[in-house]
Amino acid sequence: RYRFIQGQILNRIFQTDSANFAFQAVIDLKRNTSRTYYIRAFLEQVKNFDYTKGDTTALKELLLDLGNNRENRPFRDVIFHETGNAYRIMSNIDTAVSYFNKSIKFYNEDRRLQAANYSTLADINFDLADYQKSGKYYDSTLTFLEENSRPWRRIKKRLENLADVIKYEEIVAVNDSILRLVAMSPEDRLSYFTDYTQKLIEAAKKDSIAAIKKEKREKNKEFYTKKSGKNNSGGTFYFYNNTTLAYGKQEFRTIWGNRSLEDNWRNATKSIMTRGEDEVAALEEGVPIEKRAIMNPNTYLEMIPSDLAVIDSLEMDRNFAYYQLGLVYKEKFREYQRAAD
């Protein structure tokens, strides 16, 4: 314990080589010290690793051995976290993300470590401009921090600032995609949506085949259950019967319309949902896949705006959103290059 504390103090005063020597003294004790100090000493040395001069291959092998050792199973959360940090420093972001997710999976009651995992993943996604995912990770971070503590307030502020980014990025993404379609020639539009609907058809056929196979398995299971004389009363439950379930959904739509899932959904003032692609598909259940409206390129071609006033409005909204993003990046995040872009 004293050797370990000595290493920590030397790290505080930036005497890294001496700190590593103290941590090595702990490691050399092997089974004569607790597993906690033994593993932590290795990880402290990893934190002090010099990526400009050190052997990164040896570092990767060390971290892999620590993670794979069965005796280290109680410490997998912290081992995988430090492995993720190492790969992030080495600019191997995909591998880093996989290790941070492993650390989350093997959560071992260390709330600060779990908060660090989520906040690091949030930062990575922010740098990759995936603001939706970044916001979700920051939201998860808050659940592992003490409310109103300094780290909690910092993350909360970042999450609030991110709400504006998400809002304006969505406007930019939607309007830019529509305007790209507007700028296409009729031939290019037809080609684009023909490819898109072809992929939809292929995916729908795969889903249909999978559903048929599942239904056959369930029927076979039911047959063998009856044959074996086992109690099959659970199969009569309403939600286990696909036929009654489909009928119930249709009856609900007939009486109430397409209501969103929320409190007080029966209130007359609640808005009725517009039909989405999945609901349109449900209404066309008996129609061959290729003949369904959502599989027809013309369904989408007809939705592309041609009115100049509408197109001008889309451009103005997009440009305003870009300007607001510039302000948010500059004033709230100090991301000056991104603001300039």
Question: What is the rounded CA–CA span in Å between residue 203 and residue 283?
Answer: 18
- Encode pLDDT of 276-290 as tens digits: 555 555 555 566 777
Question: What is the rounded CA–CA span in Å between residue 99 and residue 106?
Answer: 11
DSSP designation for 33: S
- Encode pLDDT of 308-334 as tens digits: 999 999 999 999 999 999 998 898 888
Q: Which residue has tokens 């300039």? A: 340
pTM comes to 0.61
Q: Among residues 78, 115, 119, which one has the least CA distance to residue 99?
A: 78
Q: Among residues 84, 82, 73, 138, which one has the least CA distance to residue 106?
A: 73
Task: Give the model's confidence band at 291: pLDDT under 50 very low, under 70 low, under 90 confident, else very high.
Answer: confident
